[in-house]
Amino acid sequence: MSNRVYILTTPSAETTGVSLLVHFDHRRYLFGNAGQGTQRCYVQRGHSMAKLENLFISGPTGWGTMGGLMGMMLTVADSMLATNSALKAKNEQRKAEGKPLHATLDKGFDVLGGRNITHAVATSRNFVFRTGVPINVNELDEDPRKGSGPHDFSKPDWADDTLRVWQIPVVATAPENGTALPRKRTFDMMTESEKGAPSAEGRSSSQSPTPITAEAAAEAKMICRGVTDAMFNSDWAFDRMFETRLGDVKSTDRPWVRGPNGLERYTGKMAHEDPSVADNIVLMRAPWPSVATTTLPNTQPDATSISYVAKNNGRRGKFDPKAAKALGVAVKDYRLLTQGQSVTGADGNTVTPDMVLGEGLSGTGFALLEVPTLDHVQSLLARPEWAAADLMEGVSVFYWSLGRGVFDSVELQAFMNERPAIKHVIMAPDVSPNMITYNSFATLQTKLGSIDPDRFPLLNFNNRSKDVTAAVPSAIVGRTGMIAKLLPNYEFDESETVPFPPLDEAVKMVDRKIKALAKEAEKKVKQPEFLEAIEKDEQDIPNRDTVIIPLGTGSSLPSKYRNVSATFIRVPGVGCYLLDCGEGTEGQLRRALGDEEFKQAMLDLKAIFISHMHADHHLGLAGILARWNEATRENGQSDAKLTMCVPHQMCTWLKEFAMVEDIGYPRLIVVKNGDTVEGKQKRIDWTASGLESIEAVPVRHCQDSYAGILTWPSGLKIAYSGDCRPSHVFAQAARGAALLLHECTFGNDKESDAKAKKHSTMGEALSIARQMQARRVLLTHFSQRYAKANAKMEEVVVGDGGKAKEQIVLFAWDQMRVKLGEFKQAATFAPAVTALLEAESGDIGEEE
């Protein structure tokens, strides 16, 4: 059996933390952060989650350490369900043929993390749900070695037949000089006027939390654990119904009754309309078990950072069959001896494993130490684990996941230098290179940039790393792809380190014919008559300097080339806006803008619109809110507000997750999408957003799905479809929009798929664009099977005068950057862009 540890992620724009893939022949474990982008790194590096069974989350619980967890759990759950479904179908065939049946998949997926991990996962109960999947969330909220000792290190805190794990909780304490680093304020540190996000009318939407006792915390943990179990491992079925009195049914619910032909919708009067029917019995569909808990118990942010020591079980010595035979051991008992059990020989004597096995290999391992702030250093150094010789025996590598400035701690460096035989692998934002994480995408993006640099600018990266050997000679800067081989023999292998992408070489690979097309386009867009025609045609379009950056243009899951849904809009002099916010949005925006411009974007962020509750449209939201909160506070803008126009279930999620991490919740102006629908609008003050209004339009996709229409005082109108079937109501409501962003999940040959999954085809999206008479159109949200892009121009009648105006349609690509007033230029480069993507499509299709 072999065992190795592979560095999967290091701190970068897209992946803020460290994650390690622990590889055995038959099983995988993930240690470290399950932050945003982790799953996409799996895809990029060619790993499969099929054998991943355990996830040990390090650090304090927050979106930075577990922002990619929900997506990973859904992927693992779907993989389990698909495997069991295939086995079930195969067994039905084998049963019909009279053959023995295969055993169904009998494994689970366990997530272990620090305090609040169950609460954090439970906040997602309204949009994460699977049945019959044994996914367990376990909270490491106790210190197994509390007190002065002595401590028994022979028993691990967690173990299976392959690996043993000891958890190391590290609390944040002030340094000896008493000058602790400034900390984020917790919910309890806020003033009464700050608690609770204001609603659109300015009222506080939550009450002051009560102190949490140990008993209350234990009960809360039990409730949250029950919720997380119900999210994945219930036996709920869509057709399960229960009987109830009509008087107990809400007026907005839709009851059923049993008719002569089976279940039928109840069409009679409701109890509030006719009290005499209140005792009539009707049927209601059973809700998801996890949503039965309408409100989670209170909790508080906790800065305790979880680290780990992990050791394999070593390897037994070689079995000597001659010795076993000489001792009278029956052949059938050989296996018991190799498994460590004693047996009885032919003469009645006990035969122990050491009598027939050669010398084995002792367990070897590693430590993952996450130290997020200088305030955690003293607590880490004082841990009893480091003095336990038996525990430290065979531990050859210390992986250090450090916060900014922590490596410079003199005390920490001394600790490392006291252990020169250990390989110290350092990873931190101010140590690690901010290298390109998604090589395949960056290579293609660079090629696109070589033919249209205005739309496809070079991504921001920095391949320099800090010299750590001067301070700690046995240290090395950790890089993705480095491997610590633990069994059968220890070796630290740097040969598979992921190289810096040779982006300059990518440019040389672009075909000369494609370059010639680009040169023709470049020449054309500089011609005075071309520019004059644009000025004349676009006189009626306000804010032409508005910049649109698609950050995620794919559907469902992140892939090598397309991240999930998000679009960034900057209206100069007014503010920045986000339309949906899928996992990885923060990293995509940081990579596009660079650190300084990203921070400015957070300072200028005015409003976020979330179209619906499918996870691929909002799992990046908490990360963006945390960065906005940090940026505004550090810049002295602690009174800044951020408008959130969201589905009603998102309101609950925001409030509950704010108990785990400071996301600036008291400064959010939360508006429910349903409160902005025409005819139902409540009085809303949009001043803080820089907008005149946001109007949500109900669309057909999933429950509580909306398209959004953003209108600015200047007259600028941008319409966003979210995910939906074509909506004529939306087309009429946004008539004359300067820009339409519409989903285009399927090609025209997949209309039946689009109808079944309640999405739109390309032709349907363009039909809505024509009905809307939108001046500019950006198609997005492509099925991950599509990697090509294109562009087209066609005339459409705009305005009451009947004058023909050009409607320009572009196909979105991650990280492209287009100004509202430069769609014509972008379309001019379309032949070159299309030719390049067609040339690359074979490789893209294979890699997808």
> For residue 840, what pLDDT is reported?
84
Q: Which residues of the chain have pLDDT under 50?
A: 176-196, 201-208, 788-789, 793-800, 844-848
Per-residue pLDDT reduced to its tens digit, 46-87: 888 888 999 999 999 999 999 999 989 988 888 888 887 888
Residue 287 φ/ψ region, left for φ over 0, alpha for ψ in the -120 to 50 degree band, beta for the rest? beta
Could you say which DSSP state residue 177 is in? T
Buried b / exposed e along 204-227 (16+ C-beta atoms within 10 A): ebeeebeeeeeeebeebbebbbbb
* Every domain range in the chain assigned CATH 3.60.15.10: 504-847
Candidates 38, 143, 141, 59; CA nearest to 372 is 59
Work out whether strand 343-344 and strand 350-351 pair parallel, antiparallel, or are unpaired.
Answer: antiparallel
Quickly tell me which residue has 């401590």 as its tokens: 151
Distance CA 445, CA 591 (A): 12
Class of the 3-209+364-434+467-493 domain?
alpha beta
> For residue 184, what pLDDT is reported?
41
DSSP H helices in 327-484: 334-338, 377-381, 389-392, 410-417, 439-451
CA 816, 817, 820, 825 torsion-angle sign? negative
> For residue 848, what pLDDT is reported?
37
Candidates 774, 723, 791, 764; CA nearest to 553 is 723
Candidates 687, 682, 678, 686; CA nearest to 706 is 678
Q: 632 and 600 in contact (C-beta within 8 Å)?
A: no
Per-residue pLDDT reduced to its tens digit, 163-180: 999 999 999 986 544 443
Q: 545 and 714 in contact (C-beta within 8 Å)?
A: no
> For residue 256, what pLDDT is reported?
86
Q: What is the mean pLDDT of the chain?
A: 89
> For residue 477, what pLDDT is reported?
98
> For residue 842, what pLDDT is reported?
58
To the question of domain 504-847 being in CATH 3.55.30.10, the answer is: no
Tokens of 138: 């376990």
In angstroms, the Cα distances linking 650 to 445, 577, 580 are: 34, 18, 12
Candidates 230, 24, 51, 62; CA nearest to 136 is 230
Gyration radius of the chain over CA positions: 30
